[in-house]
């Protein structure tokens, strides 16, 4: 979602437009928007429209770097995302493994 919003930085999106464009559920989009807002990457405008608006030049640079990486190596970027998502439960489950000392 974020990279899509960066491609059209001047565009204002409604949550419904993002649901349609991403072919995602309302719940997935609303949670992602909450995360992007908390991270300081989007801004809400009158009427509930949203736009890409990083809160600092550093955030803008990080997003630009992420976009470049994704464009060069989309599979590697997806693997990184999935590895991060799977890391939490895996680490938690590993804590309960019996080990020979």
Helices (H), 13-73: 15-22, 26-38, 57-72
The pLDDT of residue 35 = 94
The pLDDT of residue 9 = 86
Q: Locate the domains of the chain by residue range.
A: 2-92
Q: Helix, strand or coil for residue 99? A: coil
| Residue 30 pLDDT exceeds 90 | yes
- Give the number of other CB atoms < 10 A from CB of residue 20: 11
Q: State the Cα–Cα distance between residues 34 and 7, nearest whole angstrom.
A: 20
The pLDDT of residue 82 = 79
pLDDT in tens, 37-82: 999 999 999 888 999 999 999 999 999 999 999 999 999 988 887 7
The pLDDT of residue 27 = 95
Could you tell me the fold of the domain covering 2-92? Arc Repressor Mutant, subunit A (1.10.10)
Give the residue-averaged pLDDT of 15-34: 95
Give yes or no for a contact between 33 and 15, defined as CB atoms under 8 angstroms apart: yes
């Amino acid at each position: 979602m974020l990279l899509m919003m960066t491609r059209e930085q001047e565009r204002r999106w409604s949550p419904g437009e993002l649901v349609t464009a991403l072919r995602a559920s309302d719940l997935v989009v609303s949670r992602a928007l909450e995360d992007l807002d908390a991270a300081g990457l989007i801004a809400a405008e009158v009427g509930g429209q949203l736009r890409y608006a990083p809160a600092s030049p550093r955030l803008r640079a990080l997003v630009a770097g992420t976009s470049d990486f994704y464009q060069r190596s989309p599979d590697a970027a997806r693997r990184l995302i999935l590895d991060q998502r799977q890391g939490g439960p895996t680490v938690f489950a590993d804590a309960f493994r019996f080990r020979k000392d």
